[in-house]
Chains A and B, each alone.
Chain A
């Protein structure tokens, strides 16, 4: 058999690249994200199903995937090439829902294992005695993963058929429609095309100008895959005309050198079940057989597709890396919006605290009536309550600002980010907790300070005065004075100092905690800047090894 010139370093670089591609994530719903995700999957499919196995085992049989629009006669073509009914053909569309792989019995072991298309569960039809009678031969790699007879619902399956009529070293894969109404079929068809050494494109006299097959042809050209084009179901009377036009279209699209086979419309092609006469498919069969059996042609077919795929990485990897970096940039923008909102709010809270904004409303009423009509405990309660209200207000203002900013970001529509529980009550609870903790620590400070003094003043009253002095700004000047009278100027200064620091800490802690809570879903998506660099690095390593 033929060998491609493959060095182990290349394989290593390739598998490193594959891992990088597999780890690329696009969780944010940016405009390019679905496309990037599909590109990633497609690239992964091509690497896993085709490039890596092909480079590892260049002697494996040539896989020709028959693809085309619905009703183009793919199954009939495969059946005719094989010479018996292996894939169901019919008039109802879409006909082929399960892909069928046909190979020579000798080659069966290549495909029974998970060498290619590992995601598809292998099944085979029970009505082929040759398979049942011939269990795993020595050297066959099926043992660890014996194919099953049936497949569960939702499982994607690949049916493997063997036919001695096919030459060794050639396998045909009958793919579902590339433009099927069933979306799963479309995806599967694309994935199968990715695994092909030879792309056999089937179109018909009625379809050769359709947009969809041309997209496929263009794709094949882009990847520089080994391509064969089959014009099927051409009525006899217009055969030459249509064939010429199709050729002209191909040449215009820069695909002039693609081998082109024309198969006339025969009664058998429409009815389903019938096989086309051998003469009709003979040229195609001969071409495929030649590829499979002539080492040079085989090597050429394989290496062309492989090399085309490798060089297509040059453009596809940067695209992927670009999408990754777009994700990171979007995540950065979202984070920046959150940070910005909380920074602003923090500044605002500091301003309000300095201006004595806490000593307003109830707290102010209490303070005015203190000490005659209000106890120290009530004053303290009111002040702590007011502090909590200030913090809650700033947190929800930040939340609103973030919502506004994020509503302009498409990335914020992500379900993970949108599913924020309405936790106003939760935030209220958490902030209240923090405020009460601050009060408790303040009381401890006061008790500590008062312990040394003879004739200790009422700690609660001192705490209330201290809290008022700390939070009341200018309007609580008298509170500071009274405090100094009660506990001594030095002690008052020390208490105010410590209390002030504690207050700053408390505010920062609350705002930071709420900010982190807000960012938690985004952080959970784990969007890192490194993956872009890693993708490019893996590509450049691969380029060096090539």
Chain B
């Protein structure tokens, strides 16, 4: 059966993994990788789960591989940092059942805290890395990755980027291959990485990489297109498409395997073409290796290490002109904002009123850093809010953090925040941590987690109780407050930051976009009573706009009736009415 369908890159990766006979998949959501697991969960033949973090996810995939089935772990680039501990040693143990790690990089920072390049990590971990350039290749390459994994006894990384993961193109779907499970056999020289065995495995890793580099030139994932012998490109992934668009008549060596590089293939190509450019988004991973072999190519001296490329960017660098006809008009920026009815806004409006700084974390609530809420002072990585606050207290004392809190989402808290909280308990901290518990993983598009009571497959399960968890690890003061009850919230925050013990406030209310939410009320403003003070505008709700005369209008389709604006109006000009 071969059927044409238009598929998102991530959907095609899921399809390819399914067709390759994958049996176990574990992941933590992270843009732009999230949809892979969501699509894969639709196949009954594959066990799929959300893990609390990427380290756990990869270890689950490792266990499944050791036991003898094909396994998958998916994550975004920064998630691989969390998973790097098992990653580097998985390179040593190798696999039993084939194992692939899909890592989604985010050049251009559509939804991330940095622009790191996974290809660098693959090199340092000595793990083969493949990179497709459209949805069909994503499906085909991941199947090839499983073949490589089993043939060379190694985990394989499939690198995708935002533009590949979140673009759709035509895919020819095929049937699932039923792969026979491998037998598990005890083998401590391979699976127990104590020094005595790891020394031997390190030798095996080097040998494997040498063999792979030799064989890579023959892999079907690479493609040579000899056309114009004056102008040529070595490229891979989505940038290949930009090359085809900008210079359709040029010669191209399109690399499917990036680590190790197919040296012979590259050397042969460079001999055929006069002037060769290396086009790769982010770091000069391919370029620097080629240059180290004494071969002259052009690359980052012309092309940026930042952001996404485009055909116009290439044309400008190579020909000095692009296709643009009109110049862009200067228009007001429209950055992302917290949604109307978002419970984070309520908590931030209280913190703003109390002039409290927040050590922030990764999630929609990072948006609390910008005007008009302007509450969050720091954001580093998943879980860092709690440890950053702790570091501040240990550096400058209790007085320094009396107007500080840490804010972290429920999913992020379970990801890596809980370790930081254990550290606070253990090391006698006295700070205040607010868990913004909106009952979901919000920013990535509403994925369940260990405290929601639902699995990735949609089955009912035990829900971790955050309050009980915090008490169990020894937090002396734990309280749960309705995130929209601003009066109680204000009193609780004041009590906690002025208290002498470590406190956790769980500010609870579901995300406004969560499925099944009902909004029976909406807020309306009364122009007669409005004193044009603008207090309601200070909460940064997208449903409220100022009219020319200074009064406000509340958009009735956008308003979710949370009533936060009403609580800010001292003149009773805003009221809640039934829809």
**A, B from the same assembly:** no
B→A interface (CB under 8 Å)? none
